[in-house]
Structure 1
């Protein structure tokens, strides 16, 4: 596969009657001022983006807006939005991903879920696990189970941290050093709260922490309205700490239309370990955009296992920065496009220090003639990352004639003492494999189902929990064959 470089976008200068805010803060968007001369920031401002940002800010609870630390995050994101346009297919990062579905909708921020609406949510069967439930971006304590946390571990709202030491440590990473794209910044402006997961030095969190994201507010799929929520999570694991995190994004009943714009930042200290499981099964009429930003210090380990099957438009941006030597990074992802939907993964791993190790496996299945899958994977080995061992592999199955898969593996190497490799393959099921099963008395339909399920099993088997593996495998089988009974 050819690897193309990112191309700059040139913006035309608007007319002199264009109005902009008088200050770089979103709270002043309602007071535009006409000016005669245009500054560079004015020329780059996008009225559609500013309109969304203004509506997000106006929807925030007053208690959240008054938080000093959250306001710092909002100011950082606000300034970025002033020079960030809405992306189009002409922009290289979105060349294969059409997000006009969002722009053509009537975007409205969600409101805090009323208590009576929570009674209609499905009852979770795994209530014995340590879990935190987030409904439409808001923490719901009544649906969470946080008893039994180890000493020193904190899980909850930034505004409710009682320890000044934890607060001081957490706010060091606000705002983040790495600035993401437009959706990253919109989340920073519109997030009603910041979920903090803090693990102190040397603490091992036995058993996974389950973060459950539920979308309860949505419109009919034929409606233009698109409610948007902005959940945001910050994970800080100190030196020698260990934790397993399960993120599960669940949709509402039926084919509700909504937009989940989520961000998770992970800071992993020296010799610390984080196991990250990510499951996305939201409504097939929804938009799901997710940012995962990871910073790894010396001798730390980060392992991501992802299965994404939901969303009319689903995009996951994964950025990993190794800021220390002897660091281990693993990314294993499986995407399934079973109907008219787009599954998109954009990943970037940056290695800056000696003896870094990374492995990336991406698999996707497109089982619909109008389905699409996108993979853009970038691994950058900088000059001082000597003796690096980095590998990347992407494999895709196309099961329908007009289905689309676009892959762009990208390996940038500046260091000279490295062992790096990448590969890409796109194909249908192999005839030899089908013949092998048919020769043993298995009919063609059953043989195809078995091979399709086994294709994704290589990623599903990497989930650390057997219960989680069984649950995800059964769900994937159900999507591929509606006759399969769900027993959860």
Structure 2
């Protein structure tokens, strides 16, 4: 068995740390954007690098904005995000949430906001292998000409906030925008998002086909360059009482070797008795940084299902926060990560249960197939006092296939209620010898046996993707990443 290193699971809760709070701030404003200008008493708490990025993002939006000012709701998001950055430092390895995640790749780069979508989209290979309604986002900008949303049911809205004409929908969306607390990267997204993409499903409306959100990253610097173009797409999904929709978020790097930073945020609100099936697929350039925030709010008797497959990015981090705010709520989370190069694949999840009879299942699987590859899992499930009769389960399993490959797992189960059924587990290993022997005893050579077992390890998650064309597409990509060598041609003569 190959020698591997890993950090053992941690099963304790850190004591809270008291942080000083300020109730007032001074922010210099101009007509369309809020300028992050630090004055006392924030000077002692502010991070110059963070403020420089925020100011660069604001300047880029001001220089490219059309004559009409941004919608008030978008301005509200930018103002709230700007204020939070006044006292938010850049994360380091000394901070517990980033203890195993090195973000110096971003900090040491020259960050440049992408000012507009590319002028020519001829080189963009937009997938047409399905008849699903789709919305295309290129470098953080919604592209109407490439989107197909005509077949959606009446009352469903999909598009930018700037094109939302319904005051009723605008009022509902305003109740949830900027309502959750994220981290530095979430706030930077709020400052730099060129628009807010809204997906709205009215009461008792069922969208039969999944909505395919396609994120393309085209603008990028050459490998080895110090420049790092950044995009900030932001989406809010609001499903009213009894509604149902399926979402597919697919992130693709058009230029496989380019360097860029995709900094994305998705907010999901699942109303009473509603259901959201969410597929999140990340296949960015292996030289890119991909940081994703997903915040989910579930009301009573609602269902949220997430299937995540992440194989790309030099630095890939997914922050997933789910809160059940009503009883009889169902949450199912399934994740597969693959580090086939010198990558970091990181999942930080938090699930909060506050009401009776909540149900949750979380499955996390990852493969580290490179000696410089890393994987991180920090999963926290908190069962609060009134969440009686909760049924919560969490399992993380990891394969280390090379010497010096590493994975750090920290499953956390915090239980305050006394009438619950909860469990969690963690397993880290190479392939088991008895499994390989089972294949060899039936005439299968060792190399073929290893490939079959490696692929089947992730298939448990990939088979939960909603459509066969997606499963086949990413099965092929994963096979190529695990075994990049071309197949041996068949012999000419037998």
Give the TM-score band, short-chain normalised: over 0.9
Give the corresponding residue for 1:71. Answer: 75
SS of structure 2 residue aligned to 1:223: coil
- Distance in 2 of aligned mates of 1:432 and 1:127: 41
2:386 maps to 1:384: yes
Matches within 5 A, 1:443-454: 443-454=445-456
Matched residue, 2:431: 429
Indicate if the aligned counterparts of 1:396 and 1:425 stay in contact, CA closer than 8 A: yes
Deviation at 1:483, TM superposition (A): 4.4
In structure 2, the residue corresponding to 1:204 is in which secondary structure?
Answer: coil
Q: Secondary structure at the match of 2:87?
A: coil
Provide, for residues 203-258 of structure 1, a one-character-per-residue CA deviation record: whole Å limited to 9, x for no partner.
00001000000001000120000000000000000000000000000002231000
The within-5 A match list for 1:347-366 is 347-366=349-368
Closer, same or farther: CA 413–258 of 1 in aligned 2, 3 Å: same
Map of 2:265 onto structure 1: 263
Report if aligned partners of 1:11, 1:43 keep a CA contact under 8 Å in 2.
no
**Which secondary structure state, in structure 2, belongs to the residue aligned with residue 205 of structure 1?**
coil
Which residue does 2:3 correspond to in 1? none
Whole-angstrom CA distance in 2 between matches of 1:261 and 1:254: 18
Which residue of structure 1 aligns with residue 168 of structure 2? 165
Instruction: Provide the residue aligned with 1:16 in structure 2.
Output: none
SS of the residue 1:210 aligns to? strand
Structure 2 residue 63 is matched with structure 1 residue 55: no
If asked which structure has higher relative contact order (CA below 8 Å, sep 6+), I would say 2
Pick from 74, 82, 88: which aligns with 1:84?
Answer: 88
Given candidates 325, 331, 334, the residue that maps to 1:323 is 325
Contact 1:6 1:92 in 2 (8 A): no
With the length of structure 2 as denominator, give the TM-score of the two structures: 0.92
SS of structure 2 residue aligned to 1:173: coil
Deviation of the 1:92 alpha carbon: 0.2
Counterpart for residue 2 of structure 1: 10
Could you tell me which of 277, 294, 297 is aligned with 1:295? Answer: 297
- Which of 196, 199, 205 matches 2:198? 196
**Aligned position for 2:98:** 94
**Post-superposition CA distance 1:11-58 (Å, at most 9, x none):** 99xxxxxxxx9526695758666xxxx52x332111100000000011
Q: CA deviation at 1:167?
A: 1.4
Cα gap change, 1:137 to 1:310, in 2 (>3 Å) = same
Distance 1:245 1:409 in 2: 27
- Please tell me whether residue 137 in structure 1 is matched to residue 155 in structure 2: no
Normalising by structure 1, we get a TM-score of: 0.93
Aligned to 1:18: none
Alpha-carbon RMSD across the aligned residues, in angstroms, is 1.9
Distance 1:337 1:251, change over 3 A: same
Is the contact made by 1:308 and 1:336 (CA closer than 8 Å) also made in structure 2? yes
Give the 3 Å change call, closer, same or farther, for CA 168–258 of structure 1 in structure 2. Answer: same
Aligned length: 470
CA separation of 1:31/1:362 partners in 2, compared to 1, >3 Å: closer, same or farther?
closer
Change (3 A) 1:294 1:10: closer
Return the alpha-carbon distance in structure 2 between the equivalents of residues 305 and 31 of structure 1: 41
- Relative to structure 1, the CA distance from residue 351 to residue 31 in structure 2 (aligned partners, 3 Å threshold; closer, same or farther) is closer
SS of residue matched to 2:471: helix
The answer to whether the Cα contact below 8 Å between 2:28 and 2:36 also exists between their aligned partners in 1 is no
Query: Partners of 1:32 and 1:268 in 2: how far apart?
Result: 38
Secondary structure in 1 aligned to 2:435? helix
Change (3 A) 1:65 1:445: farther
Instruction: Work out which of the residue numbers 124, 128, 141 in structure 1 matches 2:127.
Output: 124
Deviation at 1:124, TM superposition (A): 1.6
Shift of 1:6: 4.6
Q: Call closer, same or farther: CA 1:208–1:29 in 2, change over 3 Å.
A: closer
Q: Which of 399, 410, 413 in structure 2 is aligned with 1:408? A: 410
Q: CA deviation at 1:422?
A: 0.1
CA distance in 2, matches of 1:132, 1:31: 36
Q: Distance in 1 between matches of 2:343 and 2:106?
A: 13
Query: Match for residue 117 of structure 2?
Result: 113
8 Å CA contact 2:36–2:86 kept in 1: the answer is: no
- In 1: Cα distance, 2:468 partner to 2:334 partner: 17
CA–CA distance in 2 between the matches of 1:270 and 1:396? 36
